[in-house]
Amino acid sequence: MRHALLAVAVAGLLAAAALPARAQGEFPLKYTDAQAGDPILTMGGRMVQPAKEKPADLKALPKEVSGQVKYFAIPFGDKQVLAVADGSKPPKLYVDTAGTGDLSAAAPVTRSGPEGVGPYGPVALMVGGPQGQTTVKVQFHVLDDARLLFVMPAGYMAGEVTLAGQTYRVAVVSNSSDARYDKAIQFPLSRSSPPEVNIFAIDLNQDGRFDTNVQTSGEVMPLAKMVRVKDVYYSIQVAPDGSSVRVAKIDPGMGTLDAGGPDVEMMVLSDAGFQRFSGSDGKWQAPAGHYMTVQAQLSKTDAAGAKWTLTGSGAGKLESFEVRKGETLSLKLGPPLVTKIEADPAGDGLVSISLALEGRGGERYGPGVAKGGVVPDPPQLKILNESGKELASGKFAFG
């Protein structure tokens, strides 16, 4: 959960009986309680760090708290919800559902699951939504020492859409900060401060579940402008309260993405959700729009037949780019690779030293090159003074 590890009372549903089986239309969605641990809820969750000091609006603590107390001020729409986790093992969590700031008579939130994780809840909260005050149901996960709190929705809006005569199950997950379901991803994106967006899921292979493995499936993604279904693109428009989704067949226009060689693979986040590009000598047809690289991978097979792979994330030209209709965007990734070593203060007199390999497009790769899918031991390092005397030594750690 290091990287952190993104339910609403609906005003009404649109009638579906009059909708023909065609490649576009408006389809109703209905709130569905999800089972704890449903992976699409995790993708709609948020990480909240403890407040540095007791919030001024917190008037009284629960009577039975013990040990070191952690305070949380959780943004929900136009207000903050206060929560307290104590030093118990596992922590007891108290949430100010009434919004009074007085937790003196509050009971701990019911929890289940493994120790130190959760989930706690669900808890119903009143927040300001697109149609006024509404109820949002959320659940919480708390790390064992309460150093982090994860807030996740307890359900999602679900239904079915009919595209080209085929029926697909869909769902839209709110990110729990408000009662809106229509917040689509906006480019350019920031890795250091990722935006709050909703999650869109579509059962593309019609197997009755949503596959959350973004490496192999395009079924779950941040809500984007469009989605590809069997090589056809459809625009997506979700009602603010999540009560319906409108889809329409579109022609996004295509451009060419040139990665500079046949040994490159890319996974990107775009106006069409997650997309993976591989093969085709590193030249791919891509819908016109904005992109950010999630992962880049180089591969090479040696004379003995062993495949070597080097994996990294976007940086440089890959951080944010645009493919234009009828044009070729040349990124030129891969070798020659340059070693980059960075040292940053880590507090308490410590220094964090990181090692990366930078490709010609400015993209960064981790030092853990894999041979046949196996990553060798991390590289070692030595710190020398001006005269070459060794001051310290150690080794890097992957992950």
Q: Residue 335: what residue type?
A: P
pLDDT of residue 66: 84
pLDDT of residue 349: 67
pLDDT of residue 393: 79
Q: Match 């596959």 to its residue by tokens.
A: 211
pLDDT of residue 106: 92
Distances (CA, A) of 257 to 238, 329, 353: 30, 5, 34
Which residues make beta-bridge pairs with 71?
A: 84
CA–CA distance, 51 with 56 (Å, rounded to integer): 11
Q: Residue 324: what residue type?
A: R
284 — phi, psi (to 5°)?
A: -130, 145
Q: Residue 72: what residue type?
A: F
CA–CA distance, 55 with 197 (Å, rounded to integer): 27
DSSP-derived letter for residue 219 is S
Closest CA to 257 of 220, 290, 282: 282
Q: Residue 358: what residue type?
A: E
Which residues make beta-bridge pairs with 155?
A: 33
pLDDT of the chain along its 399 residues, tens only? 333 332 222 222 222 323 333 446 899 999 999 876 688 887 888 889 999 899 999 999 998 888 889 999 998 877 889 999 998 888 899 999 988 999 999 999 998 766 556 689 899 988 776 667 788 899 998 887 788 899 989 999 999 999 999 999 999 999 867 788 999 998 888 766 666 789 999 999 999 999 988 778 889 999 999 999 999 999 999 999 999 999 999 999 999 999 988 888 999 999 999 999 998 899 999 999 999 988 888 988 888 888 898 888 777 778 889 999 999 999 888 888 888 877 777 666 677 777 778 888 888 887 777 887 777 677 677 888 888 888 877 776 654
> Is 40 in contact with 200 (CB distance < 8 Å)?
no
Closest CA to 232 of 27, 21, 20, 23: 23
Number of Cβ within 10 Å of residue 282's Cβ equals: 21
285 — phi, psi (to 5°)?
A: -80, 130
- Domains in the chain: boundaries: 35-154, 156-250, 254-330
Distances (CA, A) of 384 to 10, 296, 346, 380: 64, 33, 20, 13
Q: Match 């920031």 to its residue by tokens.
A: 190
- Token pair recorded at residue 86: 């104590």
pLDDT of residue 25: 86
Residues 160, 163, 165, 169, Cα dihedral to 10°: -20
> Is 65 in contact with 44 (CB distance < 8 Å)?
no
CA–CA distance, 218 with 201 (Å, rounded to integer): 9
The strand pair at 254-258 and 328-330 is best described as parallel
Sign, Cα dihedral of 143, 147, 151, 152: negative
pLDDT of residue 11: 26
Cβ neighbours for 240, distance < 8 A, ≥ 6 positions apart: 130, 131, 180, 181, 182
264 — phi, psi (to 5°)?
A: -115, 135
Q: Residue 161: what residue type?
A: V
> Is 8 in contact with 157 (CB distance < 8 Å)?
yes
End-to-end CA distance of the chain: 12
